Amino acid sequence: MATVRHSDSIFIQRAVADVFAYMDDVRLEHEWQPNLRDAEQEPPGAAAVGTRRHYVTDFMGRPVKNSYEVKTYEPNQRVVLESMPDSTVTATNEILWASEGTGTRVTMSVEGKPKGVLRFVPGAVLETAFREQMKESLSLLKQRLESEA
């Protein structure tokens, strides 16, 4: 199975610090990631390089467990997470925050290679699923943050 890559961005009419704080709180991720069943962070509290996050999501109709470690943590600018060996996907996720006019441009990128049963799913199907899931999450993120403004 080939590596799947996708990147998308959205403009949110809120300050960078507000958008970053909301997205950085693992307890709030279910509000803007509709396929998220469970999310935990260790250690609890503020994230930093070395923080681990564990997720259970619905992906293509099945529960998928992935664990990530924060590799880069630049508040209000950039976070990079890499999957841990016990994950269903070998992946690197990058989120960028940039001030744009009176709001924030959020760019999310994922590069991943499925493991286990997901490696048998055709690449085009996985790419479509990644793209749709990311677009839905970013749209919901925008809706949530702009409705709170």
* pLDDT tens, residue by residue, 89-112: 788 999 999 999 999 999 999 998
Mean pLDDT of 53-72: 89
Residue 74: CB atoms within 10 Å:
12
124 with 22: CB under 8 angstroms?
no
Tokens found for residue 51: 């923080």
Fold of the 4-148 domain: Alpha-D-Glucose-1,6-Bisphosphate; Chain A, domain 4 (3.30.530)
pLDDT tops 80 at residue 129: no
* Per-residue model confidence (pLDDT) at position 36: 93
Mean pLDDT of 112-123: 69
pLDDT tops 70 at residue 149: no
This prediction's pTM: 0.89
Q: Distance (Å, rounded) from C-alpha 32 to C-alpha 144?
A: 7
* Per-residue model confidence (pLDDT) at position 1: 54
Domain ranges of the chain: 4-148
* Per-residue model confidence (pLDDT) at position 119: 67
Helix (H, G, I), strand (E, B) or coil at 70: strand
